[in-house]
């Protein structure tokens, strides 16, 4: 299991490209990389998760912690490129309602009445 995190900083925007699996083994690596971002007021942070093939609750915890730090510094976080599986993970935990999340491709509405 592995993960790569590339951070590109330009002006008041940080773009992060995350690839691999986010689980109990790789989450500390992601947490460390995100901690390298110098959060300041009005900073725009966009994390591209289109290369993430798997994420468990440990990964969710990393994003929740980072989201709290971003909000505390009056910055903005956007998660982009989420597969339908990852988007659903955020939605069923209620995080999809509070975080700025953009799924990859067309949004698919899931009927949960079954």
pLDDT digits (tens, 9 = 90+) for 26-69: 999 999 999 999 999 999 999 999 999 999 999 999 999 999 99
Indicate the fold that domain 3-103 takes in CATH: Transcription Regulator spoIIAA (3.30.750)
Say how far apart CA 81 and CA 62 lie, in whole Å. Answer: 18
Structural domain spans, the chain = 3-103
Residue 82 scores a pLDDT above 80: yes
Tens-place pLDDT, residues 91-101: 999 999 999 99
For β-strands 13-22 and 3-10, DSSP reports them as: antiparallel
DSSP sequence for 38-93: ---TT-EEEEEEEEEEEE-HHHHHHHHHHHHHHHHTT-EEEEEEE-HHHHHHHHHT
Q: How far apart are CA 70 and CA 75, in angstroms?
A: 5
> What confidence category does residue 104 fall into, taking pLDDT thresholds of 50, 70 and 90?
confident
pTM: 0.88
């Amino acid at each position: 299991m592995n993960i790569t995190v590339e951070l590109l900083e330009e002006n008041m925007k940080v773009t992060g490209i995350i690839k691999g699996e986010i689980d109990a083994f790789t989450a500390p690596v992601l947490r460390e990389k995100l901690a390298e971002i110098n959060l300041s007021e009005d900073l725009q942070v966009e994390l591209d998760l289109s290369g993430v093939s798997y994420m468990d609750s440990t990964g969710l915890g990393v994003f929740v912690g980072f989201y709290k730090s971003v909000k505390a510094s009056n910055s903005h976080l956007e998660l982009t490129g989420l597969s339908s599986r990852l988007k659903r993970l955020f939605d069923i935990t209620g995080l999809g309602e509070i975080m700025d999340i953009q799924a990859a491709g067309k949004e698919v509405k899931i009927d949960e009445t079954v």
